[in-house]
Amino acid sequence: MIPFSSQTQTNIEFAADLFRNSKHTVILSGAGLSTPSGIPDFRSTGTGLWSRDEPLEVASLGTFRTHPEKFFAWFRPLAGQIYYAQPNPAHHSLAELERRGYIKAVITQNIDTLHQKAGSKIVIEMHGSMQTLTCSQCYHQVQAEPYLTPFVASGEIPLCPKCGQILKPDVILFGEQLPQAAWSKAQKEARQCDLMLVVGSSLEVLPVAGLPMQALDRGAHLIIINNTPTYLNVRADVTILEDVAMILPAIMERVLHG
């Protein structure tokens, strides 16, 4: 058993009580959930992706269209980290809580599919995923794995097997709209839940960052687990500023075994 401070232990117990008393719990996860799996987040000082690169210069739809080689040069290290990453104890804890009926849906900002690899079944991907690629010219869609291996290994830019044009990873870049179906599902879940757990998200990217407010406005409880404070910490029932890979298993254990 990992030793926690008395305050953290109290917060873990309170969070577990909220889980047990909830009838419709929804998770909102961000990049901080996957950093223990070796995938960098975006905004951490010194280690976040945006501390080294200007997002609009490397990760925008405009850059992909006009300078795809620049986009792929930036994307290659991240693609490798995602490709080889495995779920961490936080992902497995959420999957087990879903399996036991304590979680109704996971809304994620992540593109790494680690929720699914851990066993979560109902996952709403707000920023797309690395599972597929789509041709920028003829819109033919392919499974990503056969193209990711040579791309990660040698930097070979993926090309459409039908028309030979560049394949775009099915992730949302700056300048793109969120997938409408996913956004509609996410809003529905936020408005129906009586408990939302925000985990590993700084809640800085709109419109997804507004989903907890939709839940709060309808009387839901809110738990936030993140390394740094968010704009909604003052509204949360429980806030825990510690490692998600340690805290979520502790909450799961308390929910399942008291």
Provide the annotated active-site residues: 127
CA–CA dist 106, 118 (Å, integer):
12
Instruction: Give residues with Cβ within 8 angstroms of 135, minimum separation 6.
Output: 141, 160, 162, 163, 165, 166, 167, 168
Q: Which residue, 76, 90, 83, is CA-closest to 29?
A: 90
- 3-class SS of residue 212: helix
Give the start-end residues of each E strand in 57-127. Answer: 105-108, 123-125
Q: Report the relative pairing of strands 141-143 and 128-135 from DSSP bridges.
A: antiparallel
Q: Which residue, 230, 151, 175, 156, is CA-closest to 55?
A: 175
